[in-house]
Amino acid sequence: MSEKIVVIANSITVGELADTLNLPVTTLVGELFKNGIAATINQSIDFETAQIIVDELGLDVEIQMKQASGSNSSRKSRELSKDAVSRPPIVAVMGHVDHGKTSLLDAILETKSVDTEAGGITQHISAYQTQKGDKSITLLDTPGHEAFAALRQHGALLTDVVIIVVAADDGVKPQTVEAIRFARSANAKIIVAINKMDKETANPQLVKTQLATEHDMNPEEWGGDTVMVEVSAKTGQGIDTLLDMVLLVADVEELKADTDVPAEGLVIESHMEHGRGSVVGLLVSHGELKPGQFLVAGTAYGKVRTLLDFRHKPLKMAGPSTPVTVTGFKELPQFGDEFEIASNEKQARQLAEKTRAQREHDAASTNVTGADMLKMITQKHESQEFKVILKADVQGSLTSVIDSLKLVDTGGEITLRVLGAGVGNILENDIRLAADEKTVVYGFNVDLPPAVKRLAARDKVQVRIFKVIYELLDDARQTMSDLLAPEVVETEVGKLTVKGVFRTQKEAIIAGGEVTEGKAMAGVMARVKRGKEQIAEVEVMSVQRQQQEAKEVFEGDLCGLNLKTAKKIVLEEGDKLEFFTRELVKRKIS
């Protein structure tokens, strides 16, 4: 391809990606299969996966995450002032699930939580700070890499260094490769920590060879530019050297931030706690955050009631690169939202409401492509499952809830499946089962112990507790409604007869014609008909009247059209265009 193609989307189907790349679908499906993904032509793949496949095919195509307009995420960078000061480096720690990432973090922080609690510190918080001499280092723990992905997807690019943990006795694994791709795509500096050097089977040379030959990461001692440090989380070997390397990279990069500006940063976690309300983890990027300030993050706002460091100690102020926990939000912000300071509660509420309105507008589909239609049809014919785990205070309540749920009529489209049920409080086993099955855990007149709540937050399991059975049923009914495929509604707008075709390209056509019925307008779809046969569907990108762009052109007038096509078609004089809108209307279970 001579020109670089940029695809902007939240997700893209296999078929759409194949069309964009001008590749046979079978080639793309085969490449996905090589990477352990069994996908069909109509299946959506996230943009990270799409970019990985595109890169492996050697194509000059960039897949970009669609940014939600109206959110703070549009602020990708800021111009530093002359008074900017040095800030601690922000380090993401990534790696394969069994390679000792959490143990290494514990060793750096000199804690023993792994020995005393399953899952270690990742159950509590996901950001920490440690000291090396008189310098601070901020560490982000990224289970499943979702935290790092959110940082990059929201345009924050706050991560300076990525420590990729590789076990010396196990070598490079798929999650290791994924971590390398994340780091490279974010242009972060990479340091490899070769862990478990205390084991007799440790073979650091094998790890270095794999990284050098398969991933173009040559160690410095081999004449390359990748810092690799041999460490042992168990004995402490190499930990000081690893931190020294992080600080060395930070010095070279000259990391700075402004402090004399209103505080801003990123939401890195959020959950509800009994007695505390919303508990939100923030990472400050600029400015100084203080108790009593009004914050807005996405659609949530509030006043900072408490400001705590990662050890839950009160802070009077948090500067750049500092991870903090705050309370006082009136609702939970979304993971990855950027926060900013408001002058008062009124302004904070207005900013949050503006973002909410914009997000609702962006979420409402105005036009649906033919590929989207095919996905909707496929979804309609697939029976969806709503999986739940139920816990109640007494057996009678449990039986009543289960029987009532089974009476919810979904017209056969949604199947309710109870994976587990019992009497008593929600337990860790319930959360683990729900995490494996993507299940909602319902509690009726029961408690959620703090340790179980932390596990649910870590594994992103939805736990919903009710004291009124009708509220539980309404929630279940709403959740099942969300699983229903939306109804596709088409509205006719107008018709046009093509009088001339001026330019045809691969994905665009410029033509002119007379509006014979209704109106022509930008942003709608159009069926192209030749006689009685429909030959294509196109999108109207813009409309011109008398060589000037117009919002609408009505019956009897001539106009020019800029049409976008999914595949190249030959438009001819005399063809008819039938303009229409296609909307997705959400259905509800009555």
Look at 580 and 2; give whichever has higher pLDDT: 580
CATH 3.40.50.10050 intervals, the chain? 375-483
pLDDT at position 143 over 70? no
Given this model, what pLDDT does residue 411 score? 61
d(CA 337, CA 240): 34
User: What's 375-483's CATH class?
Assistant: alpha beta
- The average pLDDT across 568-573 equals 87
d(CA 390, CA 441): 6
The neighbour count for residue 103, using CB atoms within 10 Å, is 20
Confidence of residue 402 (pLDDT cuts 50, 70, 90): confident
Q: Is the dihedral of CA 512, 514, 516, 521 positive or negative?
A: positive
User: pLDDT (tens digit, 9 = 90+) per residue, 94-141?
Assistant: 887 678 888 888 888 874 344 433 333 233 346 889 988 889 999 887
Q: How many Cα atoms within 13 Å fall on the side-chain side of residue 27?
A: 11
Confidence of residue 3 (pLDDT cuts 50, 70, 90): very low
Look at 557 and 19; give whichever has higher pLDDT: 557
Q: Is the dihedral of CA 499, 500, 504, 509 positive or negative?
A: negative
| Angle, alpha carbons 51-57-59 (nearest 5°) | 75
Structural contact between residues 128 and 139, judged by C-beta atoms closer than 8 angstroms: yes
Given this model, what pLDDT does residue 274 score? 77
Structural contact between residues 192 and 238, judged by C-beta atoms closer than 8 angstroms: no
Determine what percent of the chain is predicted with pLDDT higher than 70.
78
d(CA 68, CA 362): 7
The rounded radius of gyration (Å) of the Cα atoms in the chain is 27
CATH 3.40.50.300 intervals, the chain? 83-257
SS3 labels along 477-519:
HHHHHHHCCCEEEEEEEEEEEEEEEEEECCCEEEEEEEEEEEE
Given this model, what pLDDT does residue 24 score? 74
Given this model, what pLDDT does residue 146 score? 40
How does DSSP classify residue 346?
H
Given this model, what pLDDT does residue 395 score? 63
Tokens of 159: 């991560």
Overall fold of domain 83-257: Rossmann fold (3.40.50)
Given this model, what pLDDT does residue 118 score? 32
The neighbour count for residue 352, using CB atoms within 10 Å, is 23
**Which CATH number is 487-585's, of 2.30.42.10, 3.40.640.10, 3.40.50.880, 2.40.30.10?**
2.40.30.10
CATH 2.40.30.10 intervals, the chain? 264-363, 487-585
pLDDT at position 450 over 60? yes
- Residue 238: what residue type? G
User: pLDDT (tens digit, 9 = 90+) per residue, 452-489?
Assistant: 999 999 888 999 999 877 788 889 888 888 887 777 88
Given this model, what pLDDT does residue 144 score? 42
Tell me, rounded to whole angstroms, the distance of Cα 354 from its chain centroid. 21
> What order do you get walking across the sheet with 463-466 strand by strand?
414-423, 384-392, 440-444, 463-466
Structural contact between residues 580 and 526, judged by C-beta atoms closer than 8 angstroms: yes
Given this model, what pLDDT does residue 1 score? 39
Residue with tokens 């009914």: 477
How does DSSP classify residue 74?
G
- Residue 27: what residue type? T
Given this model, what pLDDT does residue 152 score? 43
Packed helices 428-437 and 450-458: angle between N→C axes, nearest 10 degrees: 20
User: pLDDT (tens digit, 9 = 90+) per residue, 187-236?
Assistant: 788 999 999 999 999 999 999 999 999 888 999 999 999 999 999 999 99
Confidence of residue 6 (pLDDT cuts 50, 70, 90): low
What is the pLDDT of the chain when averaged over all its residues?
Answer: 80
d(CA 494, CA 431): 54
User: pLDDT (tens digit, 9 = 90+) per residue, 24-82?
Assistant: 776 777 777 666 565 666 566 666 677 777 777 777 666 655 443 333 333 345 678 88
Given this model, what pLDDT does residue 36 score? 56
Beta bridge partners of 392: 423, 444
- Residue 109: what residue type? L
For residue 451, count CB atoms less than 10 angstroms from its CB and return exposed for 0-12, middle for 13-18, buried for 19 or more. middle
- Give which of 56, 65, 21, 25 is closest to 42, Cα–Cα: 25
How does DSSP classify residue 73?
G
CATH number of 264-363: 2.40.30.10
How does DSSP classify residue 79?
P
